Structure 1
Amino acid sequence: MNQLTKHLSLFALCGLIGLSSYAQKEVPKGWHLLDAKDSGYYGISLEKAYEFVKAKKLKSNAVIVAVIDSGVDTLHEDLKPVLWKNPKEIPGNGIDDDKNGYVDDVYGWNFIGGRDGQNVEKDSYEAARVYHKYKAKFEGKDPSSFKGEEAKEYAMWAKAKGDVASNVEDPTMVMMIRRTVNEFKAADSIVRAELKKEEYTCKDLSTYTTTNKQAAAFRDRFVAICKANDTDEISNKMLLDELEGEVAKIDAADIAPKAFRNDIVKDNYNDFNDRFYGNNNVMVSNSAALHGTHVSGIIGAARGNGLGMDGVADNVRIMTVRAVPDGDEHDKDIALAIRYAVDNGAKVINMSFGKGFSPEKKWVDEAVQYAASKGVLLVHAAGNSAQNLDTSWNFPTPVFENGKRAANWITVGASAPFADIKDGGLTASFSNYGKNEVDVFAPGVKIYSTVPGGNTYQNLQGTSMASPVVAGLAAFILEYYPNLSAEQVKYVIEKSSTKPGQKAYDPGTHEEADFGTLSRSGGIINAYEAIKLASTLKGERPKTVTPKTTVKPKKKA
């Protein structure tokens, strides 16, 4: 999962075509919370929802929302009041007070950290990992000779091989990417020397002048990328990491990816019962925590305190579970992150990440079933590849290997502020979509929220931002109607969504389409309509049925 420019075309990164149209028209901070009829922006009508519960004199109940992500700034002014703190753990004593296997897990847990304090920030891509893992076994072999599990492995490997090969099939593009990286690195060294800063952002470049033509050209292209992302907080490190990630995809055709995770975490990855690894550092660094901090603020940044922005839900506790690097996450970490969140009381889990392959999908499926057995709702970002998920994959998914579907899962596409198709229409140009596989859309363009730095905020965009809008709404519903099941909350959110009944752009074909054909519900979430519908339902707690699992219980000391 690349965290910033992942929805921008690589051509745009290299400066060969125009950038995102969303940078051309301003929107107010917090537009995603507004009412479309009152403001003209297709927000979620949140204030009307709060007026509804206030009129009914309903009392809210605290809801724990787990954010499985890249990390969170636990010192941010707008997040400190809403962070979950493990009530059974004594901070900093080096003892596993609650005996859950994770020492000093005060704010949550970091599943991509080492016991020695090292942490995974950058990682490889799953396609490359799958391709090289099975290359010796399958290269040049007759696919008809494989049966059962081996046949499934071969099919996955063959697809991964195709993905890896696609990154080098255009020699001109490969040459352009390598040249761009080299040019950016050379220019970056000049800018760093002249600014006397090792890490700088577009904000620093706003007053930067130079007589060096190479540095000036780099500055202009860098500023254009920031403008397209509607933020001046992208750093040179983030940008170069993004481009070097593209180089890594090219290199993967011939070179096996470095074992970033295994070198640091040092668990036995193939043994799912070797699960008590990691550390309690849930932030790691500003760059690592950028994505997760932004997501957390969207869900539940303290409301009404006059600082920065307001989250969707007003009585949540954000549990931080770090499992997502800059690159593709690993299935084991995601499966254990889900289980950790469930075991520690989360009722909603936000998952703003995704990848094209899931070699250990069975572990994730079992974790999803475990969450369902405990009445926990999973909210997942649809992805930012402008693909139809009815015909492509973005893992994890609610569809199990046996073909059955999780009922406690919502897949979220990203919507845009404007109804007029001349302004881009209601679909974000980068958003994945699908009449069967995307459940609903939510605002995901130019979303203003918390970022690391203690008191810092900025706009980011992606389905990563749309998913926490839905997770926040789910938490809001459960605050006031705590007896509703995960399935009922899913029903409420989808059934009450606003159906614009107008044309939009199909992100994949770039042609006009009925907005209602791009998701299963055909709508954009509406908090006011959702809470009204929730008020009419009788809470039906699901029966607790623990599914079969390959996880063995922890032995008592």
Structure 2
Amino acid sequence: MKIWIVSSALLFSAAVFAQKTTTEIPKNWYQLDRAASGYYGISLDKAYDFIKAKKLKSKQVVVAVIDSGVDTLHEDLKSILWTNAKEIPGNGIDDDHNGYIDDVHGWNFLGGKDGRNVKEDSYEGARVYTALKAKYGDEIPADSTLTASEKNEVELYKKAKEKIVGQVNPAETAFLRQLLPGFLKGDSVIKKEIGKEEYNCTDLEKFTSVDAAANRTKAFLLQLCKANSSNELSNKQIIDELQGDLRKADAADHAPEEYRKEIVQDDENDINDRFYGNKDIMAATPFHGTHCSGIIGAVRDNGKGIQGIADNVRIMMVRAVPDGDEHDKDIATAIRYAVENGAQIISMSFGKEFSPEKRWVDSAVRFAESRGVLLVHAAGNDAKNVDSTDNFPSPVYLDNGQKATNWITVGASGDPQTGSITANFSNYGKKEVDVFAPGVQIYSTIPGGNNYGNASGTSMACPVVAGTAALLLEYFPTLSAKQLKYIIEKSAVAPDTEVTIPGTTDKTKLSELCVSGGLLNAYEAVKLAATIQGDRQAVNEALPKSKITKNKKG
């Protein structure tokens, strides 16, 4: 999972993903109305004015955020965390018999029963390459010798080998190996002199040092923050990404480290072994999930921090995304957990190029579809056309090629003041990306109890859409997941100018980059929702009994 728009390509070359901010823009630009403010926001205040004029009443909506964790003590989030009313906190008993002990605000599928947590993980392509190399060897076997299932495996092996071996850039890898030790040396000095283990560019603006290594690290981090239009990019995120890119490069010659196996201790090859993990949904990596959660539902009108998009939601955190590529089993199990425990919308700001157990994820998506749960997924930050490039998880079912009806894929938009209407890093696709939503310089909650800051990525655009979907469902509770998808796409507003194709300087209509051809607009969405008769099927409020039998580890 690439959280930040850093990438080794940006580090090594000409900052191809950079977004230049020409002027200071409002912190809430993404919620503003273009006609009133000039900014390409989602017209959120107009949406609330419409709701108020119609005298509509809201019904609480549960939004699951499958992510890296959340700051459960944040002033703008702690009161809107989902609470499992059937679970007694801290008694060590599975009170509601759902298979998870003390899951009060959600669950952590990257944890061990001993309380330890997975922080970092390997690249999925490396995991696939290593496993299939062990099976087939260095030479790709001829198709004539293979069964149908083996042919599919060999195609996957070819793709993984090309990614791991064929696309390794020795010069870039050498640059990273040279860069990292110096960055770490300066980082250790800065941490000591500032008195903080994690710091960002705001902290560095007034920081001075007589140490040369510290000054080089400062200059490098400030350069990255400028390129990413975010002063909140921290030393920790940079180190994690540099180390992750080096792990990818090392995979050509070394099997990836099994970070998850020793801690979680489930049977990763058995999807039925699903009652694993622990209750620690904050863990040590809550930045990404905290930021996404605030975008969706940070408490409105409390005089603190920011205004979340939806005003009557509960955030269920399901931790399944490490610093690295997520595992298909964890994502499939996380989706099932969210659905079984009452989530109506699931926000998924993660992605990868390989999905060796896609059938497990497909099964979970079908389960969500059968329960009327909307899935909102980030398109990815590689400036690629995902009509022709893999980006998982995806809504296209492996067994029949059909698309899930309850799935929205979101590209990231910006504003001319942040660089361009389409974020230069965003993936796109006329068939596979449904809508674009603000994802550049998005101000939201960050860990620390009362901290706020900017972040950029389709990871931010995804919760903007999830929050808008939650707002619609609050005030129009009979809308089905399929109808929510229809409304969001149909009400999207096409910009009155051509946009830049991400990663290039070429121009085109937005209709060439996404299904709807438009930018998310909450006001137009609530207006359209008011004209539609909802067809949501009544769902039993009681937790469904699992059809999966616990094994001896459960």
| Mapping 1:90-239, distance limit 5 Å | 90-138=88-136, 139-144=138-143, 145-168=145-168, 170-195=169-194, 197-239=196-238
Provide the aligned C-alpha RMSD in A: 2.1
Structure 2 Cα separation of the partners of residues 238 and 525 of structure 1: 29
Structure 2 Cα separation of the partners of residues 100 and 196 of structure 1: 43
Tell me if the contact between 1:19 and 1:225 (Cα under 8 Å) persists in the aligned partners: no
Q: Tell me the residue number matched to 1:74.
A: 72
Deviation at 1:142, TM superposition (A): 2.0
Structure 2 Cα separation of the partners of residues 455 and 164 of structure 1: 41
Q: Tell me the residue number matched to 1:54.
A: 52
Deviation at 1:198, TM superposition (A): 4.3
Which deviates the most, 12-21 or 179-188? 12-21
For residues 98 and 289 of structure 1, do their structure 2 counterparts lie closer, same or farther at Cα, with a shift above 3 Å needed? same
Tell me if the contact between 2:345 and 2:375 (Cα under 8 Å) persists in the aligned partners: yes
| 1:114-172 Cα deviation digits (max 9, x unpaired) | 0000001110010000000110222314240222221111111110111112442x322
Tell me if the contact between 2:411 and 2:426 (Cα under 8 Å) persists in the aligned partners: yes
Tell me if the contact between 1:428 and 1:444 (Cα under 8 Å) persists in the aligned partners: yes
| 1:255-301 Cα deviation digits (max 9, x unpaired) | 0110001111000011111110000000012xx10000000000000
Q: Tell me the residue number matched to 1:289.
A: 286
State the one-letter code of the partner of 1:158: K
- 1:100 alignment partner, SS class: coil
Q: Give yes or no for the alignment of 1:10 onto 2:8.
A: yes
**Match for residue 379 of structure 1 among 376, 380, 386:** 376
Structure 1 Cα separation of the partners of residues 302 and 20 of structure 2: 29
Q: Tell me the residue number matched to 1:366.
A: 363
Q: Give yes or no for the alignment of 1:356 onto 2:360.
A: no
Structure 2 Cα separation of the partners of residues 16 and 469 of structure 1: 30
State the one-letter code of the partner of 1:181: L
- 2:366 alignment partner, SS class: helix
Structure 1 Cα separation of the partners of residues 245 and 152 of structure 2: 28
Q: Give yes or no for the alignment of 1:83 onto 2:81.
A: yes
Unaligned runs of 5+ in 1: none
Tell me if the contact between 1:388 and 1:508 (Cα under 8 Å) persists in the aligned partners: no
Q: Tell me the residue number matched to 1:472.
A: 467
Deviation at 1:551, TM superposition (A): 6.0
Q: Tell me the residue number matched to 2:512.
A: 517
Structure 2 Cα separation of the partners of residues 199 and 331 of structure 1: 30
Unaligned runs of 5+ in 2: 541-545
Structure 2 Cα separation of the partners of residues 87 and 148 of structure 1: 49
Tell me if the contact between 1:501 and 1:514 (Cα under 8 Å) persists in the aligned partners: no
The alignment covers a number of residue pairs equal to: 546
- 2:286 alignment partner, SS class: helix
State the one-letter code of the partner of 1:409: W
Deviation at 1:445, TM superposition (A): 0.5
For residues 413 and 177 of structure 1, do their structure 2 counterparts lie closer, same or farther at Cα, with a shift above 3 Å needed? same
Structure 2 Cα separation of the partners of residues 544 and 47 of structure 1: 32
Deviation at 1:542, TM superposition (A): 4.5
**Match for residue 491 of structure 1 among 477, 486, 492:** 486
Deviation at 1:15, TM superposition (A): 7.5
Deviation at 1:205, TM superposition (A): 2.1
Q: Tell me the residue number matched to 1:303.
A: 300
Structure 1 Cα separation of the partners of residues 370 and 196 of structure 2: 51
The sequence identity of aligned pairs, in percent, is 57
Deviation at 1:34, TM superposition (A): 0.5
| Mapping 1:248-259, distance limit 5 Å | 248-259=247-258
Tell me if the contact between 1:501 and 1:516 (Cα under 8 Å) persists in the aligned partners: no
Q: Tell me the residue number matched to 1:394.
A: 391
Structure 2 Cα separation of the partners of residues 211 and 189 of structure 1: 14
Deviation at 1:207, TM superposition (A): 2.4
For residues 350 and 196 of structure 1, do their structure 2 counterparts lie closer, same or farther at Cα, with a shift above 3 Å needed? closer
Tell me if the contact between 1:377 and 1:408 (Cα under 8 Å) persists in the aligned partners: yes
Q: Give yes or no for the alignment of 1:334 onto 2:331.
A: yes
Tell me if the contact between 2:19 and 2:228 (Cα under 8 Å) persists in the aligned partners: no
Deviation at 1:203, TM superposition (A): 3.1
| 1:468-522 Cα deviation digits (max 9, x unpaired) | 0110111111111111110001000100100114211101443111122110000
| 1:370-405 Cα deviation digits (max 9, x unpaired) | 001000000000000000010001100000012111
Structure 2 Cα separation of the partners of residues 330 and 63 of structure 1: 28
For residues 543 and 93 of structure 1, do their structure 2 counterparts lie closer, same or farther at Cα, with a shift above 3 Å needed? closer
**Match for residue 548 of structure 2 among 531, 548, 552:** 552
Q: Tell me the residue number matched to 1:42.
A: 40
For residues 452 and 194 of structure 1, do their structure 2 counterparts lie closer, same or farther at Cα, with a shift above 3 Å needed? closer
Deviation at 1:175, TM superposition (A): 1.5
Structure 2 Cα separation of the partners of residues 304 and 235 of structure 1: 29
Structure 1 Cα separation of the partners of residues 352 and 504 of structure 2: 21
| Mapping 1:431-446, distance limit 5 Å | 431-446=426-441
Q: Tell me the residue number matched to 2:405.
A: 407
Structure 1 Cα separation of the partners of residues 19 and 369 of structure 2: 40
For residues 64 and 193 of structure 1, do their structure 2 counterparts lie closer, same or farther at Cα, with a shift above 3 Å needed? closer
Which deviates the most, 178-187 or 430-439? 178-187
State the one-letter code of the partner of 1:463: T
Tell me if the contact between 1:22 and 1:445 (Cα under 8 Å) persists in the aligned partners: no
Q: Tell me the residue number matched to 1:264.
A: 263
Q: Tell me the residue number matched to 1:347.
A: 344
Structure 2 Cα separation of the partners of residues 19 and 61 of structure 1: 40
| Mapping 1:418-457, distance limit 5 Å | 418=416, 424-457=419-452
Structure 1 Cα separation of the partners of residues 214 and 413 of structure 2: 36
- 2:20 alignment partner, SS class: helix
For residues 97 and 203 of structure 1, do their structure 2 counterparts lie closer, same or farther at Cα, with a shift above 3 Å needed? same
Tell me if the contact between 2:231 and 2:454 (Cα under 8 Å) persists in the aligned partners: no
State the one-letter code of the partner of 1:214: A
Q: Tell me the residue number matched to 1:276.
A: 275
State the one-letter code of the partner of 1:117: G
Which deviates the most, 307-316 or 130-139? 130-139
Deviation at 1:18, TM superposition (A): 7.8
Which deviates the most, 370-379 or 151-160? 151-160
Q: Give yes or no for the alignment of 1:22 onto 2:20.
A: yes
For residues 333 and 452 of structure 1, do their structure 2 counterparts lie closer, same or farther at Cα, with a shift above 3 Å needed? same
State the one-letter code of the partner of 1:442: A
- 1:283 alignment partner, SS class: coil
Tell me if the contact between 2:232 and 2:454 (Cα under 8 Å) persists in the aligned partners: no
Deviation at 1:20, TM superposition (A): 2.0
Tell me if the contact between 1:501 and 1:515 (Cα under 8 Å) persists in the aligned partners: no
Structure 1 Cα separation of the partners of residues 290 and 41 of structure 2: 21
After TM superposition, the score normalised by the length of structure 2 is 0.95
State the one-letter code of the partner of 1:247: L
State the one-letter code of the partner of 2:162: G
- 2:444 alignment partner, SS class: strand
Deviation at 1:19, TM superposition (A): 7.3
State the one-letter code of the partner of 2:84: N
